[in-house]
Chains A and B, each alone.
Chain A
Amino acid sequence: MKKPLWYEKLERWVEGDSPALPEPLAHVENPEPVKEEEAPVQHGPSLLRSAGGTAMNRLTTAFGILCCAIFALLMLTTVAYLPRFGDADNAPENETSRRYIEQGLEEVGATNLVTNIILVYRGFDTYGESCVLFLGATAVIMLLEADRKNTSQKDRLALRRSDALDEEERNQILGHITTVLMPVIFLYGLYILCNGHLSPGGGFAGGSILGGALILCENAFGARRVQSFFNHKVYHIIKVGALILYAVLICYTIYVGANGLPNLIPLGTPGSILSAGIILPINVAVGLEVACTMYAFYTYFGRGDL
């Protein structure tokens, strides 16, 4: 059965215009002259594609823009039906938001009302999001981990060779700049993480910054250096421990709140760093979870291992 033209095009696009690439790990820097010999061969299909596929590409683009325009129109029509912002008689019976704003500070204790809502009043939802992150990272590891069953001896040798090459020819500029910037970035991430109940930020944003700092570290100093303090054991302990800590804290709060029992976790004075009861530990837990997940996404997509 002959494949239709669009299917071939899609296949070639998915495979990156190079169906005859010798080994899947060729993206790492390869000093051997193999690449220069192959380049003209691979120009053929690519040029053909760009000449024959132009009309098709235009059609796809036009269709995409049409879909976006229709969707935007629908959304704008919906927005037109919303009540005007700031009207005096908007939703006068909305007691939920009034309670959040008026009593959030004394009930929960964080000066950042957004954090009050997402981590305590709506803490169960945020816990669901953390579980989604956990499951996402687990699925990525299941699919992409390079173990004995999905990698050949050749792939492993290629990876080790590229690691050795990276070790030899480390980028000096990147290394020096990272040495200067790394403490600042880590400090900034920790600041956003630990001040989530006082100022904008919180677990998710701070954790992303920490994860980005880890990724920068891996690029500048090599995976070996990061593995020395962030290996599988540390990764699993942090990831599972953070999720369990979060689950215990949120279960305790829900149990206490639903049964009208006195909450044993002190709220502290609003505005100081050790205040707001469960929010600070939850922020730290979420941040560690997010940092681990981001770094795991990066390394498993790139190397297939931590």
Chain B
Amino acid sequence: MAAIETLLLLGLIVCAVAANFTRNLLPTIIIYAAFGTMLSVIWILLKAPDLAITEAAVGVGIDTILFLLALRSMHHLDGTGDGK
């Protein structure tokens, strides 16, 4: 169990740093969703299931959708010049 926890915590750090180094905004959002998924598993391991459910539903689901919508409003998603 400790190995899984260490792995997840390392993954959190990697995701948090990697989100800064991507050049496009779409991968940043996906990395953020991965960050939230790992965080919600960590909440379960820390015996906070209430927080885990909320993190999974809001932090990963709704936040990602809203970020993607914001990108679409900025015309970053339709392939017309998103750093290509």
- The digit string for A18-32, where 1 denotes a CB below 8 A from any CB of B, is 100100001100000
- Determine if A208 is an interface residue (Cβ-Cβ < 8 Å): yes
Q: Please tell me if the beta carbons of A302 and B72 are within 8 angstroms of each other in the complex.
A: yes
- Determine if B10 is an interface residue (Cβ-Cβ < 8 Å): no
CA distance in complex: A301, B70 (Å): 8
Contact A27 B57, CB 8 Å, known A114-B50, A215-B65: no
* A residues in contact with B16, CB < 8 Å: 68
Interface size class of A (residues with CB under 8 A): 35 or more
Contact A61 B58, CB 8 Å, known A16-B75, A26-B78: no
- Determine if B3 is an interface residue (Cβ-Cβ < 8 Å): no
CA distance in complex: A183, B41 (Å): 25
Contact A27 B77, CB 8 Å, known A201-B50, A301-B66: yes
CA distance in complex: A279, B81 (Å): 51
* B residues in contact with A45, CB < 8 Å: 81
The main secondary structure of chain A at its interface with chain B is helix
Q: Please tell me if the beta carbons of B80 and A39 are within 8 angstroms of each other in the complex.
A: yes
CA distance in complex: A17, B69 (Å): 17
- Determine if A202 is an interface residue (Cβ-Cβ < 8 Å): yes
Give the residue of B17, B73, B84 whose beta carbon is less than 8 angstroms from that of A301. Answer: B73
- Determine if A249 is an interface residue (Cβ-Cβ < 8 Å): no
Chain B residue at smallest Cβ distance from A299:
B69
The distance from the CB of B80 to the nearest CB of chain A, in whole angstroms, is: 6
Q: Please tell me if the beta carbons of B20 and A204 are within 8 angstroms of each other in the complex.
A: no
CA distance in complex: A43, B69 (Å): 23
Contact A61 B75, CB 8 Å, known A212-B62, A294-B62: no
Q: Please tell me if the beta carbons of A297 and B66 are within 8 angstroms of each other in the complex.
A: yes
Q: Please tell me if the beta carbons of B57 and A16 are within 8 angstroms of each other in the complex.
A: no
* B residues in contact with A57, CB < 8 Å: 23
- Determine if B54 is an interface residue (Cβ-Cβ < 8 Å): yes
CB-CB contacts below 8 Å: A185-219 with B: 192, 200-202, 204-205, 208-209, 211-212, 215
CB-CB contacts below 8 Å: B40-69 with A: 49-50, 52-54, 57-58, 61-62, 65-66, 69
The distance from the CB of A141 to the nearest CB of chain B, in whole angstroms, is: 15
- 3 smallest beta-carbon distances between A and B, as pairs: A200-B49, A208-B57, A16-B75
Chain B residues near A (Cβ < 8 Å): 16-17, 20-21, 23, 49-50, 52-54, 57-58, 61-62, 65-66, 69-70, 72-84
Assuming A16-B81, A16-B82, A17-B80, what are 18 further A-B pairs, CB within 8 angstroms? A16-B80, A17-B76, A18-B75, A18-B81, A50-B23, A57-B23, A61-B21, A112-B50, A205-B50, A205-B53, A205-B54, A205-B58, A208-B57, A208-B58, A209-B57, A212-B62, A298-B65, A298-B69
